[in-house]
Amino acid sequence: MDLAEKINNLLPGWIKGSRPEGGIVLSSRIRLARNLRDFPFPHHAGEKKLEEVIALVEKALEKPAPDKSRLRLVRLDAMDQLDRMVLLEKHLISPNLVKNPAHRGVVLRDDESVAIMINEEDHLRIQTMLSGLQLDKAWELADKYDDYLEGTLDYAFDENRGYLTACPTNVGTGLRVSVMVHLPALGMVDQVKKVLAALTHVGLNVRGVYGEGTESIGNLYQISNQVTLGHSEEDLVGKVVSLTRQVVEQEETARQALLNESRMQLENKVYRAYGLLTQSRLLTSNEAMHLLSDLLLGVETGLVPAVRPQAVKELFLLIRVAILQQLIGRELQPEERDYYRAMVIREHLN
């Protein structure tokens, strides 16, 4: 199997799909927190209860999936650490599951656009991810899988409070709505902090690439709702969509300003990135992420027409430490990773 085939098999469906409304929004994610009635939350449950939850989910999966897709349940304690890290880097599981794999699992749809974490902070975390700004479709898909599981499983639900969850901030709908956005121009015109700070004042969270407690890398940010109680799912989705479009407009305005007022400096920046990415023999992860961000800005503003934007976006995942090692087929030492990262970037951009 050549490198291109390996890449195609390794990439999750959400990164390979078309992106409505431009490329500034890389992905849309819906996550539903659900718990089983009469079971202690995972952080209070013993091994026996956690295993009972897994068994009940396995039983629920005996029914055909709502969209007739193939589902598979993977136990995290049956995987090695590298494979768990690959799932994390694909945004299919959380850091919590990587740290505590015992009696935990994840259900994956064949294209990995649906991932259901078992015994994370809650008994179930139903997640759907699609490319671009497609939160409405992601919500419809998550709702279908929620109904599918609820047809067999008895959820912990209160008529007044809604769905009961381990963390009080998730009580109610149990819904987390999020998008991943790429905002290099706002960073270059020194406006990104101001724009993102404004979002926190209207009820949104801004986090790094892998969620809470992580930093932004390559000008990538996750934007999500803060509150789940007292609002309908449709209202929460609509609010995030509306505010995301405002952020997209501000990023587009900043890009146009750079083209109009600092075109030569912008060309120099993106072509320096292009040169380093296509010629370097050693690249660290952080350096590569920053260079890819600059290149993607150049591609999407029409300055580097020879490169497909999709190829650059796929590289945001392909150069991560665990995914890179799985792509090469063995564990790599740090300097080897820098060598193979540069090689994969050169070949994928060509």
Tens of pLDDT along 304-348? 999 999 999 999 999 999 999 999 999 999 999 999 999 999 999
Domain boundaries, the chain: 3-254, 262-349
Q: How far is CA 11 from CA 49, 73, 167, 274, 316, in A?
A: 34, 19, 32, 23, 11
- At 231, list the tokens: 């609002």
pLDDT the model gives residue 8: 87
Judged against a pLDDT cut of 80, whether residue 162 lies above it is answered with: yes
222/201 Cα distance (integer angstroms): 16
H/E element, 220: strand 220-225
pLDDT band at 168 (very low <50, low <70, confident <90, very high): confident
Which long-range CB contacts under 8 A does 211-214 form with residues at least 24 apart?
Answer: 211/94, 211/95, 213/95
pLDDT the model gives residue 78: 96
Count other Cβ atoms within 10 Å, centred on residue 276.
17
66/116 Cα distance (integer angstroms): 14
- For domain 3-254, the CATH class is alpha beta
221/196 Cα distance (integer angstroms): 9
Q: Radius of gyration of the chain from Cα atoms? A: 21
H/E element, 51: helix 47-60
pLDDT the model gives residue 207: 85
For the segment 145-166, the average pLDDT, to the nearest whole number, is 93
Of 146, 155, 135, which is closest to residue 107 (Cα–Cα)? 146
For the segment 17-27, the average pLDDT, to the nearest whole number, is 76
pLDDT the model gives residue 16: 79
For the entire predicted model, the pTM comes to 0.92
pLDDT band at 227 (very low <50, low <70, confident <90, very high): confident
Between 2 and 105, the more confident residue is 105
190/213 Cα distance (integer angstroms): 23
pLDDT band at 210 (very low <50, low <70, confident <90, very high): low
Instruction: Calculate the dihedral angle through the C-alpha atoms of 199, 205, 208, 212, rounding to the nearest 10 degrees.
Output: 170
Residue type for 220, please?
Answer: L
Can you state the percent helix, strand and coil of the chain, rounding each to 5?
Answer: 50, 15, 35
Tens of pLDDT along 26-50? 999 999 999 999 999 999 999 999 9
H/E element, 138: helix 135-150
